[in-house]
Amino acid sequence: MPPTFDVIVIGVGGMGSAACFELARRGRRVLGLEQFPLVHDRGSSHGQTRIIRTAYYEHPNYVPLLRRAWVRWYELEQRIGRHLLTECPCLSIGLEDGELIRGVRTSAAEHNLAVKNMTVADIARRTPFRFPDGYAGVLERQAGFLAVEECVRAHVDAAAALGAEIHAEEPVRSWKADGDEVEVTTEKETYRAARLVVTAGAWANPLLAELGVPLKVMRQVMLWIDVSANPYMFRRDQFPMFIAETPQGDFYGLPAIDEYGLKVARHYGAPELSSPDQVNWDATTEDVPPVKSFLDRHVLGAGGAVTNGQVCMYTVSPDKHFVIDTHPEHANVSFACGFSGHGFKFSSVIGEVLADLAERGETNHAIDMFRLGRFE
């Protein structure tokens, strides 16, 4: 007989590792299947840091999930005994009537979040940023950054400590649902379980092909810039994390926390690809000019050389909102994908959501805007 579990989780990255942990915490017999080595650099959950913020410009409906995510990150730190989340202000900068500034202010107003509005003169007095008239800033204190690889590792370790089996380098070839059971076949074995959770990132398309989930893949490049000539300016007690909306594209960055310096990347702006197999995983000299141009225009003292570059993937849905639901034909199959480059901060709470869906087919968390039916 094939090995049998309560729940099988396909994909043990940011979301899958959190789901494995939460299900194991609830006493379920869990198998997590990952095609790559654990905590790998071929997906969307690597690159040293990820921003977490609360006044969410993308939509106010994310804010309750974020509030819960903060709680779960602190609980994970306490459980595992490792530092994962560093609090750091986040400064959003954009045109006064642009999507970013309007969105941050709307979420802050709807959820009574403390933010500080800043003029371009205020920004120039307090930071190295320089923007012309017509721009504005919103500073948010309830923000910080997550040590992304360590967060995935913490969820994996916590799940394993609770009895979950986590199999690395075991690609899934197929799955099928048969009544009250699912069967998952990998390169090594066939497994059975009562429930299946698919958190396969950019590989969700072939696993969920019959649903027609309209996901695309976007290659994104993170760069680190030498700021050793002006180290004081870019320390995290002086320099906030930032998101900037400009005519040349959207950019984000984090303060210098090690010898690599300032981390900066362009958000979106790259071609949408049909498969992760099309991604070039090497950062190249062609990836540098858009970021350097942004820094030259808008950030004093950030003209140093590139010290490091890493490539990651966004798995993008048509509306850039998450896709979380149960399978319309198989109630014991649930999935989470299409996190569109802004999902990792939510993974601690998405683990709860997925555990709820696996156990009872519903959750008390507000996920209606992420349901698959919106694409019909």
Give the active site residue among 20, 25, 28, 49. 49
| Mean predicted confidence (pLDDT) in 66-95 | 98
The question of whether 330 is a catalytic residue gets the answer no
The question of whether 267 is a catalytic residue gets the answer yes
pLDDT digits (tens, 9 = 90+) for 280-295: 999 999 999 999 999 9
Give the active site residue among 315, 342, 345, 363. 345
DSSP 26-83: TT--EEEE-SS-SS-SSSSS-SSEEEE-SS-TT-GGGHHHHHHHHHHHHHHHHHHT--
Residue type, 248: Q
Q: Does the pLDDT of residue 16 top 80, yes or no?
A: yes
| Long-range Cβ contacts of 78-84 (<8 Å, 24+ apart) | 79/158, 80/154, 80/157, 80/158, 82/150, 82/154, 83/147, 84/146, 84/147, 84/150, 84/151, 84/154
Work out the pLDDT band at 368, boundaries 50, 70, 90.
Answer: very high
The domains located in the chain, with CATH, are: 4-46+149-211+319-375 (3.50.50.60), 90-140+216-316 (3.30.9.10)
Give the active site residue among 267, 292, 365, 374. 267
The question of whether 292 is a catalytic residue gets the answer no
The question of whether 49 is a catalytic residue gets the answer yes
The question of whether 321 is a catalytic residue gets the answer no
pLDDT at residue 289 in the model: 98
Give the active site residue among 20, 25, 28, 50. 50
pLDDT at residue 195 in the model: 98
The question of whether 186 is a catalytic residue gets the answer no
pLDDT digits (tens, 9 = 90+) for 104-118: 999 999 999 999 999
pLDDT at residue 2 in the model: 79
Work out the pLDDT band at 264, boundaries 50, 70, 90.
Answer: very high
Give the active site residue among 46, 105, 216, 342. 46
Q: Does the pLDDT of residue 1 top 90, yes or no?
A: no
pTM: 0.97
The question of whether 46 is a catalytic residue gets the answer yes
Q: Does the pLDDT of residue 323 top 80, yes or no?
A: yes
